[in-house]
Copies of this chain bind each other. A is one copy, B any other.
Amino acid sequence: MERGLTESELIELLRSRAPGSSRLRTGIGDDAAISVPGGATATTVDAVVDGVHFRTRDSPPEMIARKAVATALSDLAAMAAEPGEIYVSVGLVRGSEDDFLDRLARGLAESAARYGVALAGGDTVASPVLFLSVTAVGHVASEQELVTRSGAGPGESIALTGEIGGARAGLWLLEQDDREGAGPAVDRLDDRIRRKLIDRQLAPEPLLQTGSALGRAGATAMIDLSDGLITDLGHLATSSAVGIEIDADLLPVAAGVDAVAAAAGRSPAEFVLGGGEDYELALAVPESALEAAVAAAESSGSGLTVIGRTESGPSRVTVRQDGRLLQPAPGYDHLA
Which residues of A pack against B, CB within 8 Å? 4, 6-8, 10, 25-26, 29-37, 39-49, 51-53, 75-76, 78-79, 81, 85, 87-89, 91-92, 94, 120-129, 131, 133, 135-138, 143, 146, 148-150, 222-224, 239, 333-336
| Contact in complex: B91, A131 (CB < 8 Å) | yes
Chain B residues near A29 (CB-CB < 8 A)? 149, 239
**Interface pairs A-B: 10 shortest CB-CB:** A32-B42, A32-B44, A133-B133, A47-B89, A31-B78, A31-B75, A135-B135, A89-B133, A126-B335, A49-B127
**CA gap between A146 and B8 in the complex, in Å:** 23
- B7 near A333: Cβ-Cβ < 8 Å: yes
| CB < 8 Å neighbour of A128 from B33, B34, B51, B222 | B51
Determine the chain B residues whose CB is within 8 A of the CB of A43 once the complex forms. 32-33, 35, 85, 87, 120-121, 135, 137
How many copies of this chain does one complex carry? 2
Q: Could you list some 6 contacts between A and B, CB below 8 A?
A: A25-B40, A32-B138, A46-B89, A47-B125, A52-B125, A128-B129
A8 neighbours in B (Cβ, 8 Å): 333
Chain B nearest Cβ from A172, distance in angstroms: 19
Which residues from B are CB-within-8-Å of A223? Answer: 31
A317 to chain B, nearest CB (A): 15
Query: What CA separation (Å) do A136 and B7 show in the bound complex?
Result: 21
Q: Do B148 and A34 touch across chains, with their CB atoms under 8 A apart?
A: yes
Cα-based distance from A62 to B100 in the complex (angstroms): 35
Question: Using Cβ atoms and an 8 Å threshold, which residues of chain B touch A78?
Answer: 31-32
Is the Cβ of A124 less than 8 Å from the Cβ of B31?
no
B26 and A148 contact, CB distance less than 8 A: yes
Per the bound structure, the CA–CA distance linking A8 and B235 in Å amounts to 10
Cβ of A88: which chain B residues have Cβ within 8 Å of it? 45
- The answer to whether A25 touches B239 (Cβ under 8 A) is no
Q: Do residues A36 and B143 form an inter-chain contact, with CB atoms below 8 A?
A: yes
- Other-chain residue from B7, B76, B125 in contact with A32 (beta carbon distance below 8 A): B76
Report the Cα distance A34→B44, complex, angstroms. Answer: 9
Extra pairs beyond A6-B333, A43-B121, A45-B122 (20, CB < 8 Å): A25-B40, A25-B143, A29-B239, A30-B148, A31-B224, A32-B42, A32-B75, A33-B44, A34-B146, A36-B39, A36-B41, A37-B37, A43-B85, A43-B120, A43-B137, A45-B133, A91-B131, A126-B335, A126-B336, A135-B135
What residue in chain B is nearest A231 (Cβ atoms)?
A: B8
In angstroms, Cα B333 to Cα A92, docked, is 15
Give A299 Cβ to nearest chain B Cβ, in Å.
Answer: 22
Instruction: Select A34's contact among B127, B143, B239, beta carbons within 8 Å.
Output: B143
Known contacts A8-B333, A333-B7, A335-B6: does B91 contact A125 (CB below 8 Å)? no
Residue numbers in B under 8 Å from A26 (CB-CB)? 148
**How many Å from the CB of A128 to the closest CB on chain B?**
5
- The distance in angstroms between the C-alpha atoms of A7 and B47, with both chains bound, is 14
CA distance A129 to B6 in the complex (A): 22
Please state if B335 and A94 are interface contacts (CB–CB under 8 Å): yes
Distance A333 CA – B9 CA, assembled complex (angstroms): 10
Among the interface residues A31, A35, A91, which one has the most CB atoms of the partner chain B within 10 A? A31
